Structure 1
Amino acid sequence: MIIQSKLISFILSINMLLFGAILPNNNIQKNTNQFKEEDIQLQTSTGTIYGTVTLPKSNTTVPVVLIIAGSGPTDRNCNNADGSIKSDSYKMIASELAKKGIASVRYDKRGIGESSKAIKSEEDLVFDDYINDAVNWVQMLHNDKRFSNVTILGHSEGSLIGMVAAERTTANAFISVAGSGYSMYDTLKRQLSTQPKDVYNECIRIMDQLKKGNRVSDVSKDYYSLFRPSVQPYLISEFKYDPAVEIKKLSIPVLIIQGNTDLQVTLNDANMLKTSNSDAVLNIIDGMNHVLKDAPIDREKNLETYDNPNLPLSSLFKEKLINFMNDELRK
């Protein structure tokens, strides 16, 4: 059973909230001839959320993009404190936007990096906390006289956070990058289908109770990496949301970007989002993986890019992102 537990943990680790090593992100202010970076903070009732604002050199108001990180201990730069990811992808997005006269804000979600003290314990965190934080960021940026409009960009799990936040606030546009088209419940169920029957059945038993809003006390230690009591409130809250339902609610410009060598999110996810919002623009990026870098479909070589911050973003990804910003927000 130990082996099976490790297999499950590996398969589902991309979707789970793991607080194994929540270390501060020592953000360094950066100034170049094209942009500058400053610290920015969002005050909440439970603590401060820390972020970085990247500002282009401009004498006028500019658009701003709120970048929402994916799941796990992923910080504002798209790096994990446990060392599993060191890509700098969000940092690179901020730089590319600034070069084109577009500001951005990226932040450590509560419980992560410099924002680790915004929650007391893992059990205190629910998915709606992340949504509320994103809503509050958007409202704060709308009130900032430096910015003309606000776009939300959500990566991976951040896509679902962002699309719900976009519907609840006055975001001007929404960008889903490598976002799931299916609910967390359905995604886990699909991934678990490759496991032995007894493992699958036990996991589904637990998940069905969580989906009903019920906590499960009789969880075997073999399944603690997935369904430990302290993470159950988070799963219960996230199971309520279906990306295909949420994206349909958006009447603002929507861009869906998906790489075809992504090992974690598939083209089926992107197509589901597009089907749910027919007005959305769908861009499939050839050769782009989950951390937005050029990578082959070969699993080992693909994963090598996760730990190489020197690799640039996919050039086609950058092109589609900038084109959308220019076309939709500067008409």
Structure 2
Amino acid sequence: MFKYAYRAIEVVFQREKAVKSSVWLIIHALILSLSTISAPSAVAQMADEEEGGRVSVQQELTSTGPEGMLRGTLTLPVADAAIPDGTPVVLIVPGSGPTDRDGNSPLGISAGPYALLAEALAERGIPSVRIDKRGMFGSVDAIPDANEVTISDYGDDVLAWTRTIRKRLPTTGGGTRCVLPLGHSEGGLVVLAVNSRLPNPCGLILLSTPGRPLGTVLREQLAANPANAPLLNEADEAITTLELGERVDVNALTPALRPLFIPEVQGFLIDVFAYDPAALIEETRLPVLIVQGMRDLQVGAMDAQILADSAQEATLFLVPHVNHVLKVVSSDQAQANIAAYSNPDLPIAKGVVDAVMQFIEQIDG
């Protein structure tokens, strides 16, 4: 079934949240896409000297979107050097809400986890592409309204980027370049949903990916905060309505709940609530890597275990002390954990990079 690669002796699944921060975390997890965002995080071609003399090169890359260009950043291990045919390219698919190609968000995230992951992979000889979601940031022209999206739409973009990567980095021997979609949080759901449509797939990587339908996860997040007790019945009814494919009258809700169910995102919530990640991974015929931080406030070890138990071929890494933005945090306190969301100076967790590299080494590119 699957291989365990435990990096933790004890399971530490942090569910405790401060009242102020819990609302923000739930909003982030629920994909409140902001159509007004247009500031690109594009990186022009540049070279960065890394320790040991290695030079990584970052280039702006474009792909075809529905109505305009999709944009992202290609990170190459070295300048002007051919990528060996057997070397895969990691395609980093971003998580929920207005998350840019670097892993940052105007909702309070400036940790840059995707940019740091790309740099860490380049140091070890692996190229990657990290992308802006359609309708946002550098991809703002791809569609008129960033809220008018579905998981399948995002899957279409993964297919477009796969074609672009293979065209940009062809093999010399006439084979097909291995493109490894790496989905973080909601991005993991996207790559699970699209995997059956991928041409010549070679594997999937899931970081901090929910193992249960997101309606179930939201109910749990709300119930985890005792202060939300008076709202739970009303919230449950709203979630159930969306799960049935019907819209919620936001004006009839208690004001505290309205930000979770604003009309602009209800169409997307109806779509995303319909997906069961465990059912999707059960149908997956590819080798899958599942990496879960043990101090993640938004997705927990239970979700990773559900995914691993449901998969036909999966490797599970439970990485101690790592939170949702892939940083090591030294405390179980929620305040310290959330502080890492806005600290770009914290390096990406080495355990996460090690897990990805071990998986890549086993992939037949």
The structure 2 residue matched to 1:88, chosen from 92, 112, 117, is 112
Report Cα offsets for 1:207-250 as digits up to 9, x if no partner.
22221212233543623311122111101111111110111111
- 2:105 is aligned with what amino acid? N
The structure 1 residue matched to 2:304, chosen from 267, 270, 283, is 270
Secondary structure in structure 1 of the residue aligned to 2:88: strand
Q: What residue in structure 2 maps to residue 70 of structure 1?
A: 95
- 2:62 is aligned with what amino acid? Q
The alpha carbon displacement at 1:81 in A equals 2.8
Are positions 1:159 and 2:188 aligned together?
A: yes
The structure 1 residue matched to 2:237, chosen from 176, 180, 205, is 205
Report Cα offsets for 1:109-130 as digits up to 9, x if no partner.
0132122232323542233221
Report Cα offsets for 1:85-128 as digits up to 9, x if no partner.
11111111111212222111101101321222323235422332
Alignment of 1:125-144 (within 5 A): 125-144=149-168
Any conservation in 2 of the 1:35–1:55 contact (CA below 8 Å)? yes
Are positions 1:31 and 2:40 aligned together?
A: no
Report Cα offsets for 1:15-70 as digits up to 9, x if no partner.
12224562412423221343211111121222221101111223234310100111
Are positions 1:243 and 2:243 aligned together?
A: no
The structure 2 residue matched to 1:217, chosen from 234, 238, 249, is 249
Report Cα offsets for 1:122-176 as digits up to 9, x if no partner.
5422332212211222233334443621101001111101111222213211000
Q: What residue in structure 2 maps to residue 111 of structure 1?
A: 135
Are positions 1:303 and 2:338 aligned together?
A: yes
What is the root-mean-square deviation of aligned Cα atoms in Å?
A: 2.2
Report Cα offsets for 1:238-275 as digits up to 9, x if no partner.
11111101111111111000111111111001101001
Any conservation in 1 of the 2:152–2:193 contact (CA below 8 Å)? no
Secondary structure in structure 1 of the residue aligned to 2:125: coil
Q: What residue in structure 2 maps to residue 150 of structure 1?
A: 179
Unaligned stretches of 5+ residues in structure 1: none
**Identity rate of aligned residues, in percent?**
32
Q: TM-score, normalised by structure 2?
A: 0.83
Residues 297 and 6 (structure 1 numbering): CA distance in 2 closer, same or farther, change over 3 Å? closer
Any conservation in 2 of the 1:39–1:51 contact (CA below 8 Å)? yes
Q: What residue in structure 1 maps to residue 207 of structure 2?
A: 177
Are positions 1:192 and 2:207 aligned together?
A: no
Query: Higher mean Cα deviation, 21-30 or 242-251?
Result: 21-30
Q: TM-score, normalised by structure 1?
A: 0.91
Aligned residues: 325
Secondary structure in structure 2 of the residue aligned to 1:180: coil
Any conservation in 2 of the 1:22–1:113 contact (CA below 8 Å)? yes
Q: What residue in structure 2 maps to residue 56 of structure 1?
A: 77
- 1:329 is aligned with what amino acid? D
Any conservation in 2 of the 1:245–1:276 contact (CA below 8 Å)? yes
Any conservation in 1 of the 2:159–2:198 contact (CA below 8 Å)? yes
Secondary structure in structure 2 of the residue aligned to 1:258: strand
Secondary structure in structure 1 of the residue aligned to 2:264: helix
Once residues 8 and 228 of structure 1 are traced to their aligned partners in structure 2, the CA distance between those partners, rounded to angstroms, is: 18
Any conservation in 2 of the 1:119–1:125 contact (CA below 8 Å)? no
Secondary structure in structure 1 of the residue aligned to 2:178: strand
Any conservation in 2 of the 1:23–1:81 contact (CA below 8 Å)? no
Once residues 26 and 218 of structure 2 are traced to their aligned partners in structure 1, the CA distance between those partners, rounded to angstroms, is: 7
The alpha carbon displacement at 1:6 in A equals 7.3
Once residues 218 and 193 of structure 1 are traced to their aligned partners in structure 2, the CA distance between those partners, rounded to angstroms, is: 20
The alpha carbon displacement at 1:291 in A equals 0.8
Residues 245 and 201 (structure 1 numbering): CA distance in 2 closer, same or farther, change over 3 Å? same
Are positions 1:316 and 2:346 aligned together?
A: no
Once residues 197 and 251 of structure 2 are traced to their aligned partners in structure 1, the CA distance between those partners, rounded to angstroms, is: 35
Secondary structure in structure 2 of the residue aligned to 1:181: coil
Residues 313 and 70 (structure 1 numbering): CA distance in 2 closer, same or farther, change over 3 Å? same
Any conservation in 1 of the 2:151–2:193 contact (CA below 8 Å)? no
- 1:90 is aligned with what amino acid? Y
Query: Higher mean Cα deviation, 48-57 or 29-38?
Result: 29-38
Once residues 147 and 208 of structure 2 are traced to their aligned partners in structure 1, the CA distance between those partners, rounded to angstroms, is: 27
- 1:317 is aligned with what amino acid? V
Once residues 293 and 147 of structure 2 are traced to their aligned partners in structure 1, the CA distance between those partners, rounded to angstroms, is: 34
Unaligned stretches of 5+ residues in structure 2: 1-18, 49-53, 172-176
Query: Higher mean Cα deviation, 129-138 or 225-234?
Result: 129-138
Residues 251 and 117 (structure 1 numbering): CA distance in 2 closer, same or farther, change over 3 Å? same
Once residues 56 and 196 of structure 1 are traced to their aligned partners in structure 2, the CA distance between those partners, rounded to angstroms, is: 48
Query: Higher mean Cα deviation, 92-101 or 142-151?
Result: 142-151
Residues 199 and 329 (structure 1 numbering): CA distance in 2 closer, same or farther, change over 3 Å? same
Once residues 146 and 230 of structure 2 are traced to their aligned partners in structure 1, the CA distance between those partners, rounded to angstroms, is: 28
Are positions 1:15 and 2:29 aligned together?
A: yes
